[in-house]
Structure 1
Amino acid sequence: MSESRVHGAFAPDAATAHQNLHSEAGALRGEHSGRSRNPVIKVADLAWLEFEKPDLDRAEVFARDFGFGVAARTERELWLRGTFAGSPCMVIRRGRASRFIGPAFRAAEPADLDRLARVTGAAAREADVPGGGRTVDLLDPSGFRVRVVHCGEELAELPGQQPQLLNFGTGHPRVNTPQRPPREPSRIQRLGHVVLETNVFARALDWYLDTLGMIVSDFLFLDGQRERGPTMAFIRCDQGTVPVDHHTLAMHLGPACGYVHSAYQVTDLDALAAGGEYLNERGYQRSWGIGRHIQGSQIFDYWRDPDRFMLEHFADGDLFASDLAPGWAPMSTSGLAQWGPPATRDFLGASPSPSRVREVVRTLRGDNELDPARLLGLLKATNS
């Protein structure tokens, strides 16, 4: 494998970087390129996620136990943050039922909002965010409200957890000092990504690439159905030569259009594991973990909040620059992790409820991308 020097270190050539790493191979001739030729804008990052819940007090208790800080709290809104400077991670507004509203992405420049508004016909307006700013609100093909924002003021950095000093092989920086990571909440540093399910996968994928200028890191396809195109994409922001998270958004084909999980970066494995023990002692439900993913390479630990939303602590994720082409790999449960316990039925959503069955039946009869062959392929992937 040839090598080139990137950011002061040797890195694999863009053409061969996927080989033997996190996906089986690159694209075949004629397959999706994973990017748009002329996107409207290129968003810089995921800003925050928006939810509604009826009980903000209960939501705040879990948020603090999970490791969020509180950026602002009113009778009707709860803004949560990490320790890094920047925008909040999440806003929870009081509502009649618990539901996910949609993601907000950060515009690279204020002028991007004007261009986006002009091309889409949406209006740019003042954003209801601590510190102020402007937003353009859109609807993606799945029906999620997608905000593109430029914040007036950034939140200041807060003190964070320090990474543990580790001894490796012949390197022993820690001498005469025992290792005692405190059992406390895994202090969130920042929002990493959100995963969504959609029954209009191809349309939604192209919308994010064409409208927001995002690019694909990895495609997954159903075994025996590769010629029909991918059924999952891990999508990152395009900041040129600046390395960014392997995925800021991931989407997969399914019977519904809904939230799957969101992920929040913590300092290291010790912070993640000790924070998990803290959550377990307080009676919260672990959905799956601890393990290390394949696509993205993150060390992960998944939890359910009291409203059954899934949230992930992660550490040590991959960073890709824009010159890396998408990888292609078959979709399977065994392909979700390099190591760790088997994926649980809760994580996979493999315990169908009557409402889920009705959802499948309704989708199969509707105008979308799920048909019986696709459904059987997804079920096969869940058990492979």
Structure 2
Amino acid sequence: MNDPASTPVPTADAHQGLHSDQGALRGEHPGRAPRPVIKVADLAWLEFTKPDLDRAETFAHDFGLTTAARTHDALYLRGAMTGTHCLVIRRGPGSRFIGPAFQAADAADLDRLARATGHKVRTLTEYGGGRAVDLLDPSGIPVRVVHGVAEEPARPLQRPLVLNTGTTATAARINAAQRPPRQPSQVQRLGHVVLSSRVFRRALDWYLQHLGLIVSDFLYLDGQRDRGPTMAFIRCDRGSEPADHHTLAMHLGPDTGYVHSAYQVADLDALAAGGEYLRERGYHHSWGIGRHIQGSQIFDYWRDPDRFMLEHYADGDVFDHTLEPGWAPMSASGLAQWGPPATRDFLGTTPSPRTLLQALSALREDNEIDRARLLGLMKALGK
């Protein structure tokens, strides 16, 4: 059981060659709550509605997911590793993101979270069962915390290719050619979700306080660091057990909701061959292949038939609870160590009446978007 009153852990200096050139300045956001209500263990699944479950299932299989269960009104998709299903797609009149579900570390955490928020623990009666507490984050996104959901057994995993590196004297593959098949990248598991919020700071603090998440990296706008970060890459706090560099990422923006979700595959060849498989079937490629800076993942981004963005990734960073946040300026060119420039499709900067209306609406509302912030975001995405 997590102890919210436990003493703070010693942290490693984030800017001494570990993962960021910069650490926090005095008085900046610490990247964690001192006494969180609970500490979630992982991201369990994401939930969507779509009008065509057949089309959604076809794309999911082409992307590398498999069907765990299907009813007339819902589709449950899974990766190959042991764990709960990782996507729930419900039949609905339109395509929309509902929200994420996080995995509580133990049953008592649900009771503690319910007491702290004034909500109830309820029994889940659909596929997988379990119990849940349903919340709303400050952006208005439904967030579910679950425990006791039935786990899917592991399936045989796609094996990383054996690579020859260096001299022939140390070759690992001899008298054997390398021929990775052009087939769907086998998704091993759901890695993370990225959300946009007009109330970024409030939403960030809510996730740190209620779910015990901790920040791996902050990004800030050029010339506006004194106003605080505008993006955070956030991981689960599993103590000394390493966790993904980010399970949740959030950024300030005029839109609210889903940006993309990411799914782990075996290696670069699985990612690239799977991408060619998707390309041959006419799916829209958004950006890649490249390697990120924050998180280090090798990435490749695709759009499903409903225009939702999904990422294949491999070789991501994992951090334990001792590493403190890194700080870096936000820019489009700073998203990757190598690879093609980030596309307008990926950045969401393609001009359209919808994006203009979102920006105007955000400026009129009581939120964290003002003219300086909006201009700073536009400048960052153009750099």
Written as runs of structure 1 = structure 2, the 5 A alignment for 1:1-384 is 15-20=12-17, 22-170=19-167, 171-384=170-383
Q: Could you report, residue by residue, the CA deviation over 1:72-126 in whole angstroms, capped at 9, with x for unpaired residues?
A: 0111000000000111110000011100000000000011001111110111111
SS at match of 2:83: coil
Partner of 1:5: none
* 1:36 partner letter: A
- CA change 1:192–1:128 in 2 (3 A) is farther
Partner of 2:5: none
Shift of 1:358: 1.0
SS at match of 2:272: helix
SS at match of 1:19: coil
Contact 1:65 1:279 in 2 (8 A): yes
Contact 2:84 2:151 in 1 (8 A): yes
* C-alpha separation in 1, matches of 2:215 and 2:126: 29
SS at match of 2:153: coil
Shift of 1:359: 1.3
* 2:367 partner letter: N
* C-alpha separation in 1, matches of 2:204 and 2:335: 21
* 1:335 partner letter: G
Shift of 1:14: 5.4
Contact 1:87 1:151 in 2 (8 A): no
Shift of 1:164: 0.4
Shift of 1:153: 2.1
SS at match of 1:230: coil
Shift of 1:128: 4.1
* C-alpha separation in 2, matches of 1:94 and 1:67: 21
Q: Could you report, residue by residue, the CA deviation over 1:244-281 in whole angstroms, capped at 9, with x for unpaired residues?
A: 00000000000011110000000000000000000000
Q: Could you report, residue by residue, the CA deviation over 1:214-272 in whole angstroms, capped at 9, with x for unpaired residues?
A: 00000000000000000000000000000000000000000011110000000000000
Q: Could you report, residue by residue, the CA deviation over 1:50-73 in whole angstroms, capped at 9, with x for unpaired residues?
A: 000000000000000000010001
SS at match of 1:314: strand
Report how many aligned residue pairs link the two structures: 372
* C-alpha separation in 2, matches of 1:93 and 1:113: 25
TM-score by length of 1: 0.95
Matched-pair identity in %: 71
Contact 2:14 2:22 in 1 (8 A): no
* Unpaired segments ≥5 residues, structure 2: 1-9
* C-alpha separation in 1, matches of 2:136 and 2:217: 24
* 2:346 partner letter: F
* C-alpha separation in 1, matches of 2:278 and 2:98: 26
What is the root-mean-square deviation in Å for CA atoms of aligned residues? 1.1
* C-alpha separation in 1, matches of 2:11 and 2:211: 23
* C-alpha separation in 2, matches of 1:112 and 1:265: 27
* C-alpha separation in 2, matches of 1:37 and 1:118: 19
Q: Could you report, residue by residue, the CA deviation over 1:274-307 in whole angstroms, capped at 9, with x for unpaired residues?
A: 0000000000011000000000000000000000
SS at match of 2:262: strand
SS at match of 1:251: strand
* C-alpha separation in 1, matches of 2:21 and 2:39: 28
SS at match of 2:194: strand
Which deviates further from its counterpart, 282-291 or 128-137?
128-137
* C-alpha separation in 1, matches of 2:125 and 2:65: 20
TM-score by length of 2: 0.95
SS at match of 1:187: coil
Shift of 1:127: 1.8
